[in-house]
Amino acid sequence: MKALVTGGAGFIGSHIVDALLERGDEVVVLDDLNTGFRDNVDARARLVVGSVADEFVVGEAIEGCQVVFHQAAHKAVLRSIERPLPTDTVNTHGTLTVLQAALDAGVDRFVHASSSSIYGGAAPLPTPEDAGVMPRSPYAVSKLAAEQYCRVYRELHGLETVALRYFNVYGPRQRPDATYAAVIPLFVDALLTGRPPEVHGDGLQSRDFTYISDVVDANLAAAGAPAEVCAGHAYNIAGGASWTLLDILASLGELLGVDPQPKFVEPRPGDVRHSRADASNAARDLGFQCRVDLGEGLRRTVDWLRTLAPS
């Protein structure tokens, strides 16, 4: 099989590339390298440098592919608040561009990276896919719009689209030195370097954290599941449990043998208070369930982040 992975030089996309190559697939990576890294891309994959919003570049990259894993996105909530137009260009227009190219190229399956942020914290907990959505940031709005484009392309054109709503993905290759770094690598980096970790708000906001290898498995499952049960649908991808940020900080302190002394700062605009997934539909339709618990995932993440710390 030949696959296109957009955003394949980034955190999630590069892990998907590795898994595809390991099973013997031919892989094309499309990435603008604004947040991704060349070093993340296995030499066996073909790297095309360009934007998902550029229809000519996308058309060239997708030629001959049977499946698309669309991971490219501007992912940070805060960045979307500060710079909503570039976020919309990549997340909404970019998704539409790749969808149209997939249709034109005769792609069989289109697996789209969506986000739990579309729920906006207004849904019941645990949250099923049919809960009401209330996006609270331009990022969340753009992910919801992209997901709706996927559904429409299934209904109008028969393209087999599957959207995966990721819940707080973490793991190796998620870097603390990114401009809008995620909370777990930031916590680990602070603890490794003896700085007080910053906690936005009171630290009692909770999240359903999902380890990277489980997200990769979910993508592979979505690519292979029968179209009659999954095409045109969206699925929560998470373990179905939640922890507060203070819980995470305490666990990391135990792993690193330090006593975290957090510095509490202002809450981030656009953040939701609590999130937790009902992931039963993914188990039923995709045959997918998370396998890596939080303790093991944090241990693997800490081990990788130690390799980045100066000796």
Give the number of other CB atoms < 10 A from CB of residue 42.
15
What's the rounded Cα separation, in Å, for the pair 77 and 83?
10
What's the rounded Cα separation, in Å, for the pair 283 and 30?
30
What's the rounded Cα separation, in Å, for the pair 235 and 272?
20
What's the rounded Cα separation, in Å, for the pair 164 and 210?
13
Among residues 119, 139, 170, 235, which one is catalytic?
139
- Are 57 and 19 within 8 A, CB to CB? no
139 is catalytic: yes
Helix runs in the chain, H state only: 11-22, 55-62, 77-82, 84-88, 94-105, 138-157, 183-192, 212-224, 227-230, 245-256, 280-286, 294-306
Which residue numbers are catalytic?
139
